[in-house]
Amino acid sequence: MTDPLDAITPLDGRYAATTAPFRRHTSEAALMRARARIEVEYLIALADLEVIPFEVDDEARDTLHSWIEDFDDSDATKIKQIEVEGTEEHPATNHDVKAVEYWLRDRLTAAGLETAIPFAHFGLTSEDVNNLAYRLLLRRAIVEELIPALEELINHLTVEAKDHRHVSMLGRTHGQPASPTTYGKELAVFVQRLTRGQDRLAQRVDGLQGKFGGATGTFAAHAIAEPDVDWPAFAETFVQSLGFRYGPLTTQVNPNDDIAAVFDALANIATILVDFDRDMWRYISDEYLIQEQAAGEVGSSTMPHKVNPIDFENSEGNLLKARSDLRFLADTLPISRLQRDLSDSTIHRSMGGALAHWYLGVTKALAGTESVAPNPAVMDADLERSPAVLAEAVQTALRRIGDPDAYERLKSATRGQTVDPGAFDSLIEEIEAVDPVLGERLAELEPATYIGLAAILVDELEPT
């Protein structure tokens, strides 16, 4: 690997340790391995057709599968050499998928499976291999890295929401003091949004669709070479064996609408988390949250007192970058001129960066959340300074006893004015004269206790 200090992007530099898992999912070597898997599995599937004149016994199958299981840097280097420099056996292909085919032919020769060589990449176009390989990598990266990271964040927020469901704080709408809420309930809102986003993502991943129909999606070469095989049925079985749905009607290109849907789902989750990061940043700024101070950490190069909300800021930045890249991928990949153009090739290769930035954003949001705790003293002080927020409760109670001008009366008494704690006493007495129980509830009400059913709503949350 390049020295992190020489890296072109922070993903392989500053954040290399965190993003390291994505090398096995979206690196060039990972793509080569995925392509090799498609070629090997296809060769075995062909051998199972009675009309194809070669056989692969159990021992040979184990050998073929071992080439994928044991695929390492030497195999990737060999494929790259065939593509770029050439070897004694093969001139430079300047074609990545053809280089994989030649690598497979060499392995077949060395294993004494020469009868299978003519059927390596039989009837296929590069996109038959690539579309499945990219989906294998994308699915694995999401299932093994992204979803677990998101689940960890959701589960942590769920615990925090329940633990702090009674911690009252001033609500703010349009930036102005509003009806109180609780810190736990506000976290629970994000838990619900993220859980829905995760469900959408899982559905989109389950909907990934593969094609396997040859140069322009017609099985033309297959049908000429062996017309007795039901090639569409064969392709459907093969694609489904890899865990994907089958797309029977395509050009040379699998349209990528399914991948776009996955990227849209990821971008939506990124948007939710940007909203979360900005709220948490504001709570820290208002001192509603206390940050844990890491020993030796510097908040400012000149202001020693500072403890900055760097995890939430870092999360926001990475998620904005990820969302931008994901939207670009979703908008671009489904477009291909006529039956095929190559504009998507380099774009496909950039998906690893989008996924890694998304992952960084989620992990930094978790780190930020783990390092903060509510500051009830400041929250309570803000509530005590805001008796006007009880105006909603009083005007609604007046409506309950039949006052048609309740809203207007409270608006006149409170809007743009300084409201003291006893401002509503006469109105509450008026309510108590009609409904003593309701009046008593209002008389006992304080901003800190005016939280409705917030705690009960949080209790409905379940961890993923």
pLDDT surpasses 90 at 80: yes
Does the pLDDT at position 294 exceed 60? yes
CA 464 to chain centre: 15
Over pLDDT 90: what percentage of the chain? Answer: 82
Q: Among the options 66, 300, 343, 412, which is catalytic?
A: 300
- 289: β partners: 374
Q: Tokens 């009675």 correspond to what residue?
A: 50
Q: List pLDDT tens digits, range 37-64.
A: 999 999 999 999 988 999 999 999 999 9
- What local confidence, expressed as pLDDT, does residue 107 receive? 97
Active site residue 300: yes
Contact 156, 370 (CB under 8 A): yes
Cβ-contact 19, 356 below 8 angstroms: yes
Cα 192 to the chain's mean position, in Å? 15
Helices and strands (DSSP H and E) totals, the chain? 21, 6
pLDDT score for 51:
87
Q: What angle do CA 47, 251, 242 make, to 5 degrees?
A: 40
pLDDT confidence bin for 347, thresholds 50/70/90: confident
Q: What is the DSSP letter of 444?
A: H
Angstrom distances, CA of residue 48 to CA of 58, 125, 352: 12, 21, 35
Quote the CA–CA distance of 20 and 360 in Å, as a whole number: 11
Q: Among candidates 210, 248, 253, which has minimal Cα distance to 232?
A: 248
Give the C-alpha separation, 168 to 165, whole Å.
8
353-370 average pLDDT score: 97
- Report whether pLDDT(299) > 70: no
State pLDDT tens for residues 108-161.
999 999 999 999 999 999 999 999 999 999 999 999 999 999 999 999 999 999
Question: Residue 49 in contact with residue 234, Cβ under 8 Å?
Answer: yes
The pLDDT score that the predictor gives to residue 6 is: 78
* pLDDT band at residue 2 using 50, 70 and 90 as cut-offs: low
Q: Give the 3-state secondary structure of 341-364.
A: CCHHHHHHHCHHHHHHHHHHHHHH
Is the pLDDT confidence value at 22 over 70? yes
pLDDT at 418: 86
Alpha-carbon torsion (107, 109, 112, 118), positive or negative: positive
Query: What are the phi and psi torsion angles at 212 (to 5°)?
Result: -160, 45
Is residue 304's pLDDT more than 70?
Answer: no
Sorting pLDDT into bands at 50, 70 and 90, what band is 303? very low
- Identify any residues that bridge with 169 across adjacent strands, giving them in sequence order: 181
Is there a contact between 444 and 424 (Cβ–Cβ < 8 Å)? no
Average pLDDT, the chain: 93
Q: Indicate the SS3 state at residue 175.
A: coil
Closest CA to 212 of 345, 103, 122: 122
Give the 3-state secondary structure of 364-396.
Answer: HHHHHHHCEEECHHHHHHHHHCCHHHHHHHHHH
pLDDT at 297: 59
113 contacts: CB under 8 Å, gap ≥ 6: 56, 60, 63
- Gap between the Cα atoms of 80 and 96, Å rounded: 8
CB 426 within 8 A of CB 442: no
Structural domains of the chain ordered from first start = 4-122 (1.10.275.10), 127-380 (1.20.200.10), 386-449 (1.10.40.30)
pLDDT-based confidence at residue 182 (cuts at 50, 70, 90):
very high
Residue 226: pLDDT band (50, 70, 90) is: very high
**Least confident span in 3-7, 347-351, 357-361:** 3-7
Q: If we measure between CA atoms, which residue out of 243, 65, 62 comes closest to residue 140?
A: 243
At position 363, the amino acid (one-letter code) is T
Q: What is the pLDDT of residue 9?
A: 87
pLDDT at 296 over 70: no
Q: What is the pLDDT of residue 416?
A: 83
Confidence bin at 349 (pLDDT 50/70/90)? confident
| Distance set, CA 426 to CA 12, 366, 430 (Å) | 67, 48, 6
Q: Is the Cβ–Cβ distance between 134 and 348 less than 8 Å?
A: yes
Sign of the Cα pseudo-torsion (421, 424, 429, 432, in order):
negative
171 strand-pairing partners = 178
Whether 168 is catalytic is: no
Residue at token pair 């009400």: 445
What is the rounded average pLDDT of the residues 363-386?
96
From 174, 301, 305, 426, the catalytic residue: 174
| pLDDT of 300 | 47
